[in-house]
Structure 1
Amino acid sequence: RVGKLDARIKDEKIPLKYNLIGQETTGIGGFMKALRTIPVMMDIAEYVENYSPDAWLINFSNPSGIIAEALLNNTNVKMVGLCNAPIIMKREAIQRVPEGTSNIRIDYVGLNHLSWITGIYCDGREILQDQLFEKYDFINMKNIPKMDMDKELIKSIRSIPNSYLKYYYYRERQLQHMKEEEKCRGEVCLEIEEELLKLYQQPELIEKPAILDKRGGHLYSEVAVSLVSAIYNNKNEEHIVNVKNNGALDFMANDDVVEINCNVNKNGATPLSLKSLDNDHIKGM
Structure 2
Amino acid sequence: MRLTVLGGGGFRLPLVYGALLSDRAEGRITRLVLHDLDAGRLAAVSRVLADQAAGVPDAPEVVVTTDLDEALRGADFVFSAIRVGGLEGRAADERIALAEGVLGQETVGAGGIAYGLRTVPVAVGIARRVARLAPDAWVINFTNPAGLVTEAMARHLGDRVIGICDSPVGLGRRVARVLGADPDTAWFDYAGLNHLGWLRGLRVRGRDELPRLLADPELLGSFEEGRLFGPDWIRALGAIPNEYLHYYYFNRETVRAYRAAGQTRGAFLYEQQARFYAAMERPGTPALKTWDATRAEREATYMAHNREAAGAGGRDAADLESGGYEQVALALMRAIARHRRTTLILDVRNRGSLCALDSDAVVEVPCLVDANGAHPVPVSPLPDHATALVCAVKAVEREVLAAAESGSRARAVKAFALHPLVDSVTVARRLVDAYTAAHPGLAYLRT
The two structures have a TM-score, normalised by structure 1, of 0.89
What displacement does 1:76 show? Answer: 4.2
Moved more, 62-71 or 95-104: 95-104
* Aligned mate of 1:160, from 240, 244, 267: 240
What displacement does 1:164 show? Answer: 0.5
Task: Answer whether contact 1:241 1:260 (CA < 8 A) is retained.
Answer: yes
Q: Does 1:91 align with 2:195?
A: no
Moved more, 193-202 or 166-175: 193-202
Distance 2:152 2:104 in 1: 22
Distance 1:87 1:99 in 2: 14
Between structures 1 and 2, the one with greater helix share = 2
Q: Does 1:7 align with 2:89?
A: yes
The alpha-carbon distance between structure 1 residues 178 and 57, as it changes in their structure 2 partners (threshold 3 A), is same
* Aligned mate of 1:112, from 180, 191, 194: 194
The alpha-carbon distance between structure 1 residues 98 and 147, as it changes in their structure 2 partners (threshold 3 A), is closer
Task: Answer whether contact 1:15 1:29 (CA < 8 A) is retained.
Answer: yes
Give the aligned CA root-mean-square deviation in angstroms: 2.4
Partner of 1:211: 294
AA of the residue aligned to 2:138: W
Q: Does 1:220 align with 2:313?
A: no
Partner of 2:263: 183
Distance 2:168 2:228 in 1: 19
The alpha-carbon distance between structure 1 residues 57 and 95, as it changes in their structure 2 partners (threshold 3 A), is same
What displacement does 1:101 show? Answer: 10
The alpha-carbon distance between structure 1 residues 266 and 171, as it changes in their structure 2 partners (threshold 3 A), is same
Distance 2:184 2:227 in 1: 34
What displacement does 1:109 show? Answer: 0.7
| Greater radius of gyration (CA) | 2
AA of the residue aligned to 1:284: A
Q: Which structure 1 residue ranges, 5 or more long, are not aligned? A: none
CA displacement, residues 39-75 of structure 1 (integer Å, 9 cap, x when unaligned): 0000000001111111111111100011112122355
Secondary structure of the residue that 2:220 maps to in structure 1?
A: coil
* Aligned mate of 2:220, from 136, 147, 156: 136
What displacement does 1:148 show? Answer: 3.0
What displacement does 1:272 show? Answer: 0.9
What displacement does 1:278 show? Answer: 6.2
Partner of 2:387: 283
Task: Answer whether contact 1:112 1:258 (CA < 8 A) is retained.
Answer: yes
Secondary structure of the residue that 1:241 maps to in structure 2?
A: strand
Aligned residues: 280
Moved more, 77-86 or 6-15: 77-86
Distance 1:102 1:212 in 2: 26
Secondary structure of the residue that 1:260 maps to in structure 2?
A: strand
Distance 1:282 1:242 in 2: 18
Distance 2:345 2:90 in 1: 26
What displacement does 1:205 show? Answer: 4.6
* Aligned mate of 2:251, from 146, 149, 171: 171
The alpha-carbon distance between structure 1 residues 147 and 12, as it changes in their structure 2 partners (threshold 3 A), is farther
AA of the residue aligned to 1:104: A
Moved more, 131-140 or 90-99: 131-140
Distance 2:182 2:115 in 1: 45
Distance 2:183 2:129 in 1: 47
Task: Answer whether contact 1:72 1:79 (CA < 8 A) is retained.
Answer: yes
AA of the residue aligned to 1:9: A
Q: Does 1:32 align with 2:114?
A: yes
Distance 1:116 1:237 in 2: 21
Partner of 2:41: none
AA of the residue aligned to 1:214: E
Task: Answer whether contact 1:120 1:127 (CA < 8 A) is retained.
Answer: yes
Q: Which structure 2 residue ranges, 5 or more long, are not aligned? A: 1-82, 303-321, 390-447
What displacement does 1:26 show? Answer: 0.2
Instruction: Select the structure with the greater relative contact order (CA < 8 A; seq sep ≥ 6).
Output: 1
CA displacement, residues 142-163 of structure 1 (integer Å, 9 cap, x when unaligned): xxxx973233321221111111
Secondary structure of the residue that 1:209 maps to in structure 2?
A: helix
Distance 1:193 1:101 in 2: 33
Task: Answer whether contact 1:56 1:78 (CA < 8 A) is retained.
Answer: yes
Moved more, 210-219 or 159-168: 210-219
AA of the residue aligned to 1:45: A
